[in-house]
Structure 1
């Protein structure tokens, strides 16, 4: 196989790409900043609930504090992914090659998607914690056992989606995104049912108190002056958790307009750059707008999503669909940085969120065999143009010329050049062990 002509991109040709990458990076940081603000508010609420010594942290703390701890556990992985996204975005700024810059920015995508949807679910769980806290503090007439069972049932409904998001596996994240509006709809129903049960219990308690008043009036006049327990009205909080309220029909609805000018621009840039996917944006819009039961595969995207993306012809042609809906199996993933040289790359900074397992590409089998010299990899390695052999030779030669170890960014610049020469798109996905 002959290598394509061409090497580095001319300097003047890189300027528009660099400017575009700067805008994309700004959108990513805007999304991270918004999500970080949400998580900070959530951690404050969880800390308050756990340390209040009342309600959830009161007499029945052994039953309900684990529910608060569950929220804290989810918050940890969300914060971890936001921090990793920040580091990747900063690293992209240090890379010279614009294609590699964009590729590194795209590595933040699964993390931002998972954090965005995870924060929405965590906000819903915080709603349930607030409700339980108020009921335990002010509604002694409501069954603690029943409240615990309802909380446990809601947590079990929420857990599979949280696990899928925390995995960062693109297929699981997109599936969770597609199902998320319906899940929030079911959780909303659970929330409304618990609230209604508290209201009914309060009405029954009112009737009991009235009977008690009549009996005491007939038995002893002096007791009339005694202060009876103050009747607390049924608790139906109008404000729920992080940015959610209950509408007149009992459905949780967004308190802020998601498609604000800033949010529109962030989503538009990230979707068009391939940072985040349409199903994720669709789920976020549906949940924030209260359209929680509108999750059906292969349907047209919601108007809010089309508006956010400009409703161009390419957007109108897009549908919420997974790999199966596309009618094809997912191509296998292959390491661009050879796995047999993992230790060599680790010594040069390829660890953590930039380990070689994050620099994989989807490639059809025929293309993969071609760059490795054919179906027999042992014979292929004897060909000087075989990918692994060629790449490692160019990196070793560059180190000899430099008289030192190459930096991570220098390696990425050489890798990007060789990927262009071999007509491999500079678009990375993480390895998942296929």
Structure 2
């Protein structure tokens, strides 16, 4: 009997070890995929930054014409700043997640970084579109192929089309970011169409100029008719390579007829992030449609190729990944509970909870009854007298841990203790930002 009991205990312990190993491997895979996505967006922003600097420093083309087009380059640089700031904050959160032992807390910190990465990813795609317009303006101004006044009016109009989406992406509100992302493929498709139309107009104009130049050369060959020489704008002898190319928008900001191919590795990386709840499926689907070209830009998620949808992990459970409690049903938002008590904000700030790791980032949504239960009932003053009340319990636990350690706890040590208590109290390890 003792041998059978010992055998059952060994099997149970082995099962727990296997489950913990699988959980840790899943968290590690999600973290690696997240880092890969951050590097992918960072590489795109670096290339855009280099191109913006080149355009502004060229001294000709868009940087000429008395500098009237420079504000459009500055607008791109301004948008790049908030994208880089989001990427920097995302990188710090990823680093903080890698330093935490509990795998559930690792995923929770990555979910905090998810909306920031979504905003940066979609912002970089939209900024690549703006870079296409800047490159186009630079080419036609350099070669004097288009009216400066008409181009200036067009640039103002195209910027006005971009601004609402850029403002929503820069808001850091997950709802606004997701809504703007879903509208982005249609916007990019419309802008690409306008740019293609303008390029066709330039091409036809260039053809007419070429015909006039042929006539001019024929007339100049006759010395008797030298008085009939035309005064024409100077253009290069050969037709510009830009004309006749089918422009498309890519994540690299390359406009010379390029197409970004959605690779299997990229789809697999996105699948990990969607499955783990780190990125939302609508945002990833919008990025796929934009990067796959104009054919898919105006299509809905359901119209994506079946293989892409299956690779991303399409299904009811994935679509509802971001829906929690009554919020996903369209009802009133449930209360948000500060996991790290806000009345002890200064205490936590002295231990490293600042910036993107501020205690306002560590809130969880729960039902009203559950929220009142962990605080000892509806009256918080009476609830503080209950030893199991969350705020009292967590602060006593942290204080005792500091006494035992003989020093101030580090941020990671605090998160480890909090993660353990959250599991005991059955609090969801899915943080959301405090909304006031």
Supply the distance in 2 between the matched residues of 1:209 and 1:421 (Cα, whole angstroms): 82
Judged with a 3 Å threshold, the aligned counterparts in structure 2 of structure 1 residues 95 and 64 are, in CA distance, closer, same or farther, namely: same
Report matched runs for 1:265-344 at 5 Å: 265-290=268-293, 291=295, 293-294=297-298, 299=302, 303=306, 305-310=308-313, 326-344=329-347
Judged with a 3 Å threshold, the aligned counterparts in structure 2 of structure 1 residues 318 and 426 are, in CA distance, closer, same or farther, namely: closer
Task: Give the counterpart of 2:407 among 398, 404, 409.
Answer: 404
Listed one character per residue, the Cα deviations across residues 174-193 of structure 1 (whole Å, up to 9, x for unaligned) are: 10111111111121122123
Judged with a 3 Å threshold, the aligned counterparts in structure 2 of structure 1 residues 81 and 372 are, in CA distance, closer, same or farther, namely: same
Offset at residue 208 of structure 1 (A): 5.3
Q: Is the 8 A contact 2:132 2:253 kept in 1?
A: no
Q: Is the 8 A contact 1:335 1:360 kept in 2?
A: yes
Q: 2:77 corresponds to which residue?
A: 72
TM-score (norm 2): 0.85
Task: Give the counterpart of 2:365 among 359, 362, 365.
Answer: 362
Supply the distance in 1 between the matched residues of 2:21 and 2:321 (Cα, whole angstroms): 33
Report the number of matched residues: 414
Structure 2: 5+ residue runs without aligned partners? 1-14
Supply the distance in 2 between the matched residues of 1:120 and 1:151 (Cα, whole angstroms): 18
Q: Confirm whether residue 166 of structure 1 aligns to residue 132 of structure 2.
A: no
Q: Identify the range of structure 1 (390-399 vs 338-347) with the bigger mean alpha-carbon deviation.
A: 390-399
Offset at residue 45 of structure 1 (A): 0.6
Supply the distance in 2 between the matched residues of 1:239 and 1:295 (Cα, whole angstroms): 20
Task: Give the counterpart of 1:414 among 410, 417, 431.
Answer: 417
TM-score (norm 1): 0.85
Task: Give the counterpart of 2:89 among 80, 84, 87.
Answer: 84
Q: 1:385 corresponds to which residue?
A: 388
Structure 1: 5+ residue runs without aligned partners? 1-8, 248-253
Judged with a 3 Å threshold, the aligned counterparts in structure 2 of structure 1 residues 344 and 418 are, in CA distance, closer, same or farther, namely: same
Judged with a 3 Å threshold, the aligned counterparts in structure 2 of structure 1 residues 40 and 293 are, in CA distance, closer, same or farther, namely: closer
Judged with a 3 Å threshold, the aligned counterparts in structure 2 of structure 1 residues 245 and 44 are, in CA distance, closer, same or farther, namely: closer
Q: 1:21 corresponds to which residue?
A: 27
| 1:334 aligned counterpart, secondary structure | strand
| 2:364 aligned counterpart, secondary structure | strand
Q: 1 or 2 for the larger relative contact order (CA 8 Å, sep ≥6)?
A: 1
Q: 1:5 corresponds to which residue?
A: none
| 1:107 aligned counterpart, secondary structure | helix
| 2:132 aligned counterpart, secondary structure | helix
Report matched runs for 1:167-246 at 5 Å: 167-206=171-210, 209=213, 220-222=224-226, 229-230=234-235, 233=239, 235-236=242-243, 237-238=245-246, 242=252, 244-245=254-255
Q: Is the 8 A contact 2:181 2:282 kept in 1?
A: yes
Judged with a 3 Å threshold, the aligned counterparts in structure 2 of structure 1 residues 300 and 387 are, in CA distance, closer, same or farther, namely: farther
Q: 2:4 corresponds to which residue?
A: none
Task: Give the counterpart of 1:105 among 79, 93, 110.
Answer: 110
| 1:361 aligned counterpart, secondary structure | strand
Judged with a 3 Å threshold, the aligned counterparts in structure 2 of structure 1 residues 163 and 332 are, in CA distance, closer, same or farther, namely: farther
Listed one character per residue, the Cα deviations across residues 272-330 of structure 1 (whole Å, up to 9, x for unaligned) are: 0010000011101111122454355x856653641322567856x77999999854444
Task: Give the counterpart of 2:100 among 95, 100, 105.
Answer: 95
Q: In angstroms, what is the RMSD of aligned CA positions?
A: 3.2
